[in-house]
Amino acid sequence: MIATTLSERRVRSRGSLIGLAVIAAAGLFLPFATADQPFLLMLASHALIAAILALSLDMLTGNTGLLSFGHAAWYGFGAYVAGLLSKSVSSDIAVLVLLTLAATLLVSGAIGAILVRQVGKTFAILTLALSQIMFALVFVFSDITGGEDGLQGIPIATFFGAQIVSPTVWYAILLGALLLALAGALHIRRAPLGRAWLAIRENSERARFIGMNVALLKLISYMISASLASLAGVLFVLFNGATSPDLLHWLESGKVLMYVVLGGVGTLFGPVIGAVVFTLAEHYVSSFTDAWLIYFGALFVLIVIVAPGGLFGGAARLATRLSARKPGRRAAQ
């Protein structure tokens, strides 16, 4: 009996490791393929930031079942806080990441404590309201934030005094951040915390009646998710050298939600793939036609109806169907 658990555990962790390795290999290979096309490397860098953002939302919506319509709030929060700090405190990337994450934990903890007591639609609507408030704050304090013009003139990020300018180095930093975040997310999902989140997503009433502090567990999920989104914002503003209120717009929140649905809610790998596919497709399709959003809307509807599991879920289902005759499956009948 114990042997089954052990082998299952190995299979599951092997699957995650293979997934991580594939993403790492693909990511490392890319700079060589794009050596003579610097633009592609930049596009890929933006895709990596989008992937971190998508992962952050999946840790909330996919793991714990809390739907956020305003996740860009934390993306923009991270970008503006890091941008302002880099102009006033330090341009060191490590310092900026740490300070911004501390600020995010503080603010998301306070806001989350109110949010997680709401359920379902109320929670989703309040997240939307929160992002709109943050959006409005940029204009209220436009003398600090630059208002509609955005926050400009961010100094070049440094690391222990050395300036980070090479696109390849930036790309490596972003890839490293994504792989770390993904490895962390995969680890948490297998740890008791991640499994408690799944239980809450499945049946939060029952979770309470087995003694779980559901509000606290939801809050932890919210804070981790907000922090990861904020990290994506920090990386964006330092990579990009500027940020605009667009980052906080509800359209941005909608896009993140699309990454997650496109890739497969709750699969962690799926949203990462969804974000990359979306970012590349957005670039190429929008160069053909201005109406690209219409095509994406149609694709979104199609995926929700035809493949509710998204790209990753669909692929996984296909793989299961192909291996359906293997003996291990029969135990589930």
Partner 1 sequence: MILEVNELTKHFGGLKAVNGVNLRVKQGSIHSIIGPNGAGKTTLFNLITGSIPPMSGTVLFDGQDITGWPPERLARGGVARTFQRTSIFMDLPVLENVALAIRSREGRSASLWQSHQHEDEAADEARDILASVGLRGREDAKAGMLSHGYQRALDIAIGLALKPRLILMDEPLAGMSRGDRETIAALITMLRETMGLTIIVVEHDVGMVMRLSDRITVMQHGTVIADAPPDEIRGNEAVRQAYLHGSFAQ
Instruction: Give residues with Cβ within 8 angstroms of 189, minimum separation 6.
Output: 63, 195, 197, 198, 268
Q: How far apart are CB 333 and partner 1 at their closest, in Å?
A: 8
Question: Which of these, 245, 249, 216, lies nearest to 128 by C-alpha position?
Answer: 249
Is residue 289 near partner 1 by the rule CB under 8 A?
Answer: no
- Sort strands 158-159 and 162-163 into parallel, antiparallel or unpaired: antiparallel
**185 sits near partner 1 (criterion: CB under 8 A):** no
Is 161 or 192 the residue whose CB approaches partner 1 more closely? 192
CA distance 238 to 45: 12
Q: Which of 43, 198, 281, 316 binds partner 1 (CB under 8 A)?
A: 198
CA–CA separation, 259 and 50 (whole Å): 8
Choose, by CB under 8 A, the member of 163, 208, 284, 308 that binds partner 1: 208
Residue 321 in contact with partner 1, rule: CB under 8 A:
no
| 124 to 115, 130, 257, 325: CA distances (angstroms) | 9, 10, 12, 41
3 interacts with partner 1 by CB under 8 A: no
- Is 5 among the residues that bind partner 1 (CB under 8 A)? yes
- Which of 108, 126, 68 is CA-nearest to residue 254? 68
Among 88, 160, 166, 210, binds partner 1 (CB under 8 A): 210
Selected binder of partner 1 within 214, 231, 248, 303 (CB under 8 A) = 214
Pick the closest to residue 229 from 275, 284, 163 (CA basis). 275
Taking CB under 8 A as the criterion, the residue among 99, 175, 199, 234 binding partner 1 is 199
CA–CA gap between residue 325 and residue 228 (Å, rounded):
40
Under the criterion CB under 8 A, does residue 216 sit at the interface with partner 1? Answer: yes
Choose, by CB under 8 A, the member of 213, 289, 320, 323 that binds partner 1: 213
Does residue 265 touch partner 1 according to CB under 8 A? no
- Compute the distance between CA of residue 145 and CA of residue 52 in angstroms, rounded to an integer: 24
Binding site for partner 1 (CB under 8 A): 1-2, 4-6, 9, 187-188, 191-193, 195-196, 198-199, 202-203, 205-214, 216-217, 220, 331-333
